[in-house]
Structure 1
């Protein structure tokens, strides 16, 4: 009697019977209760649905992969100008579609381009989560990015995801572990990688070393980054679209690291970087003002520090950056 009523939706399945039925039928609770978002038909012809999804995934064309990448690029542009807070739902849906496409792609020739697109999108989503203060979400996105990069056989994307994940450790108060993770990323890259990516990895190592209180290693990493950076004003790495780094960007990064070390040179480096900074990198400008406030405080120049904290707070509020607001609050009490 109950079975007939369950099948005809005249009676809902109680938790007591759900436990028994899940074990008998070998299904999950959403599948048993018919949750439309995750349910699979409790019939032998579920293979039809599986094959349909495999066929759909196998038909993903180069133009469809490019559409995925174009959407990631749009989110990247919106993120640096407007912040991550308004993009959470869009990024979640974007990652879900990419994951779904990868899950049902069978052959490597189909999987690799989708996996590469997922690696790039996941890394962006992870950095947005860091900026929003969602540390566990950031960590999980980086794990997804690393898995996708391995699936895509893309050592540059793997190294980048590993090194960015070090920032989660640093934010959580484990900068020394972050240093080791960045160095592991460099070892994983081996002889591969573009000069711009190597400059980025060395600069990330320098920042982690500064947080970990390792000034000697920090300076060596900064020098190595400067030696790797290609000449010219071009910032975008054609082989790694998530990397924006030229001499001007590196000067800003160097100023940030020197401010962490309390070095006198930080102020000069940061003002030079601020003068030539791309105005569309709104969150990055907020970070520069925070760095300048920190550098001025190290020199006991409190009026200048207060002015930069005020500007940083305005920009951080504009982009909704929890990470930058946390930095501002920490410096405001000094």
Structure 2
């Protein structure tokens, strides 16, 4: 099966749907594309290997399907030729450029990551693949040629945050290999920066890849190891996040008592007040409302009747900027109603979830919607 066909099927699109999306994207960006009849021929030939996807069409397909060039063309990137020109002069030029990476530039890197995080929250990950790929490449290049520790550490910290975000985005669009590699990159960068909190967070998120691959027990071991990684160097909000994540994985591993203990620990460590952002870990958003949503999701996995109360409380308090998260909340509500055989309410929430997923392109949530729809 061709990489393009795999990506299309993962999105749940027919060839006709892909053609319509190409036309819609072209209209929105004022691009010229052939007629639908010609596009049908192109898509068929691309998927059957009879036509090479040009860069022009690759630039259309990447944001539509949320994939990288490597995933679109079935390669892991081009290696530098052994005989490339430049030699020591080129190397020293790269090192000298890296020496000029100032704290101001690192702040620019962090600001770019924050912008991508905001766009991801509101638009979904699929449309950001080119921007995220370029951002990571820039940070990796800066770290590769930064020689002195005073320069390397802040760049490594910026890379740790960006790589972990990129990994979660890749997981959302179903690119699990890319997600795993980005988590490994984020962990290495966090170790280089000497930041145990970033290492713990990347490790714990990576556990979700294992869980969704059908290894919840191994995932649980990994997330418990994340607790030990940061030991006493952890903010209260990150510790709360880790306990909530542990509770969810305990539920998926069929450990209800351990799940409830972890939920209680999360509630105990959550700081007072409505502030959600962790000033020490900018990727963490967690307050009472967010924890209620997470608690509802986790209790729903256990089939607990109390899940419904937490989920509706979270729906009432939902931050309207968390667009993608709202689809997950709707899916959880549909699942809870299905467990009670309340089919009309389940259908209503699934309908809302589908509308949101059509905007964000989340493969993870689309799969959950499909699984629940089959049960109706």
**TM-score normalized by structure 1?**
0.87
2:171 pairs with one of 112, 126, 130: 130
Q: CA deviation at 1:88?
A: 0.5
Q: Is the 8 A contact 1:91 1:125 kept in 2?
A: yes
The question of 1:116 aligning with 2:172 is answered no
Q: Is the 8 A contact 1:40 1:46 kept in 2?
A: no
User: What are the residue-to-residue correspondences of 1:82-231 with 2, within 5 Å?
Assistant: 82-231=123-272
CA–CA separation in structure 1 for the residues paired with 2:320 and 2:140: 34
Q: CA deviation at 1:42?
A: 5.4
1:202-226 CA distances to partner (integer Å, 9 max, x unpaired)? 0000000111111011000000000
CA–CA separation in structure 1 for the residues paired with 2:106 and 2:297: 36
CA–CA separation in structure 1 for the residues paired with 2:170 and 2:272: 32
Rg larger in structure? 1
Q: CA deviation at 1:36?
A: 9.7
Runs of at least 5 residues in structure 2 that lack an aligned partner in the other structure = 1-76
Q: CA deviation at 1:176?
A: 1.1
Aligned residue for 2:320, secondary structure, equals: coil
CA–CA separation in structure 1 for the residues paired with 2:133 and 2:78: 18
2:80 pairs with one of 28, 33, 38: 38
Q: CA deviation at 1:40?
A: 6.4
1:51-71 CA distances to partner (integer Å, 9 max, x unpaired)? 111111111000100001111
Aligned to 1:266: 307
Aligned to 1:289: 330
2:359 pairs with one of 304, 318, 334: 318
Q: CA deviation at 1:118?
A: 0.3
1:236 pairs with one of 271, 277, 283: 277
Aligned residue for 1:277, secondary structure, equals: coil
2:319 pairs with one of 278, 287, 312: 278
1:296-319 CA distances to partner (integer Å, 9 max, x unpaired)? 111111111111111111111111
Q: Is the 8 A contact 1:203 1:222 kept in 2?
A: yes
How many residues align structurally?
Answer: 299
| Cα 1:105/1:250, change in 2 over 3 Å | same
2:96 pairs with one of 21, 41, 55: 55
Q: CA deviation at 1:38?
A: 3.0
